[in-house]
């Protein structure tokens, strides 16, 4: 749990650091007056570890925070210590993914542009498995399945009574790469069609014919929160970046606005997805003309 800082923990860390600096106190001075070690306090202020509500109360008294203001921060400390589902998988996730999952789970809105792959929140188990087998060709099967389970667990946010607002723009290239083969890809496209019709989800395809655009070659996600600044997330082969400076957020927000304005409308996107699914079904039939595929989606499943 200590390794995956939640939004609440990050916000509390930022508030405590700002209050200490406003009180004109160093970490050494605070550590001498409150029974919290210097290294521990430093880690608390960097959101590396959680802090008990009792110790938060001690710090706030030292910083001269009024009782009314202190109550909200003490409650925030309680919230930051709440157990979350992703703690069960903390040992199976990289630091970059773990941090992203914590953010994703608490976001009120997510806006994502994907260049090569279907977004993780929209993937089927078979599509995810094919991706992971390509990414970790030497990986033990049980580890692959654990990662598939994590990705499917992330998708539970779609079924909440008040799900976050999700807006996806997919480059057309995503729909042409037959991850897992035509059968898997046809089923994935069918799942996209179904998910895109949820009230809380918008899916748009950015077609090739639009040519050059503002987000060329760069996948990114913007995560919005009710009481925390927007965070930009970018993933790469060796890690991930979290950007929260105004310049970064504004630049990516502007890019996303351009992308969704340039992309096909949601209605036209559904028609395009159905067309691509039919193409994959036909391709699969040509490649395996003598095989029966009872699990393949049929035309009626793509409506």
The CATH number that applies at residue 15 is 1.10.260.40
Residues 106 and 252 in one domain: yes
φ, ψ of residue 239 to 5 degrees: the values are: 165, -150
Residues 293 and 231 in one domain: yes
Q: Cα separations (Å) of 13 from 203, 228, 246?
A: 35, 12, 19
Domain count, the chain: 2
The mean per-residue pLDDT over the stretch 5-21 comes to 81
Residues 195 and 58 in one domain: no
For 78-123, the pLDDT digits (tens) are: 776 665 676 667 667 766 677 788 889 889 999 999 999 999 999 9
- How many CB atoms within 10 Å of residue 279? 17
Return d(Cα 62, Cα 60) in angstroms, integer. Answer: 5
φ, ψ of residue 15 to 5 degrees: the values are: -65, -45
Q: For the whole model, what pTM was predicted?
A: 0.76
Q: Cα separations (Å) of 25 from 20, 42, 102?
A: 6, 13, 31
Rounded to 5 degrees, what angle do the CA atoms 188, 193, 199 make? 130
> SS3 of 179, please?
coil
Whether the per-residue pLDDT at 1 is higher than 60: the answer is no
Question: Sign (positive/negative) of CA torsion 279, 285, 286, 288?
Answer: positive
Q: Can you give the residue range of the structural domain that contains 34?
A: 7-80
Residues 76 and 106 in one domain: no
Residues 229 and 258 in one domain: yes
- How many CB atoms within 10 Å of residue 24? 8
Residues 69 and 108 in one domain: no
Would you say residue 136 lies in a domain? Answer: no
The mean per-residue pLDDT over the stretch 135-156 comes to 91
φ, ψ of residue 44 to 5 degrees: the values are: -60, -45
The mean per-residue pLDDT over the stretch 12-23 comes to 87
Question: What per-residue confidence (pLDDT) applies to 295?
Answer: 46
Residues 185 and 290 in one domain: yes
Question: What per-residue confidence (pLDDT) applies to 296?
Answer: 45
- How many CB atoms within 10 Å of residue 153? 15
> SS3 of 178, please?
coil
Q: Are 149 and 252 in contact (CB under 8 A)?
A: no
Would you say residue 153 lies in a domain? Answer: no
Residues 206 and 275 in one domain: yes
pLDDT band at 3 (very low <50, low <70, confident <90, very high): very low
Would you say residue 151 lies in a domain? Answer: no
Q: 89-98, 178-187, 199-208, 278-287: which has the minimum mean pLDDT?
A: 89-98
Would you say residue 296 lies in a domain? Answer: yes
Residues 214 and 278 in one domain: yes
Radius of gyration of the chain (CA): 23
User: Both tokens of residue 274?
Assistant: 């159905």
Return d(Cα 244, Cα 292) in angstroms, integer. Answer: 51
pLDDT band at 132 (very low <50, low <70, confident <90, very high): very high
Would you say residue 260 lies in a domain? Answer: yes
Question: What per-residue confidence (pLDDT) applies to 302?
Answer: 58
């Amino acid at each position: 749990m200590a390794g995956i800082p939640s939004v609440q923990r990050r916000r509390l860390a930022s508030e405590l650091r700002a209050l200490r600096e406003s009180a004109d106190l160093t970490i050494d001075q605070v550590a001498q007056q409150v029974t919290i070690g210097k290294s521990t306090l430093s880690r608390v202020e960097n959101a590396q570890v959680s802090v008990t509500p009792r110790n938060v109360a001690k710090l706030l008294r030292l910083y001269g925070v009024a009782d009314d203001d202190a109550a909200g921060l003490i409650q925030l400390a309680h919230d930051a210590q709440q157990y979350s589902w992703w703690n069960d998988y903390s040992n199976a996730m990289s630091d970059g993914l773990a941090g992203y999952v914590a953010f994703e789970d608490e976001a009120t809105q997510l806006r994502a542009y994907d260049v090569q792959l279907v977004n993780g929140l929209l993937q089927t188990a078979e599509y995810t498995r094919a991706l992971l087998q390509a990414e970790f060709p030497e990986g033990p099967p049980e580890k692959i399945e654990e990662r598939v389970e994590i990705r499917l667990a992330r998708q539970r946010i779609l079924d909440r009574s008040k799900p976050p607002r999700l807006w996806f723009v997919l480059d057309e290239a995503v729909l042409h790469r037959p991850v897992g083969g035509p059968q898997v890809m046809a089923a994935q496209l069918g799942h996209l069609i179904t998910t895109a019709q949820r009230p809380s989800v918008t899916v748009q395809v950015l077609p090739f014919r639009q040519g050059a655009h503002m987000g060329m070659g760069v996948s990114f996600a913007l995560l919005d929160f009710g009481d925390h600044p927007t965070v930009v997330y970018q993933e790469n082969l060796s890690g991930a970046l979290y950007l929260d400076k105004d310049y970064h957020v504004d630049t990516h927000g502007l890019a996303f606005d351009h992308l969704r304005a340039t992309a096909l409308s949601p209605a036209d996107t559904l028609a395009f997805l159905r067309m691509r699914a039919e193409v994959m079904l036909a391709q699969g039939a040509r490649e395996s003309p003598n095989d029966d595929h009872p699990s393949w989606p049929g035309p009626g499943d793509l409506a």
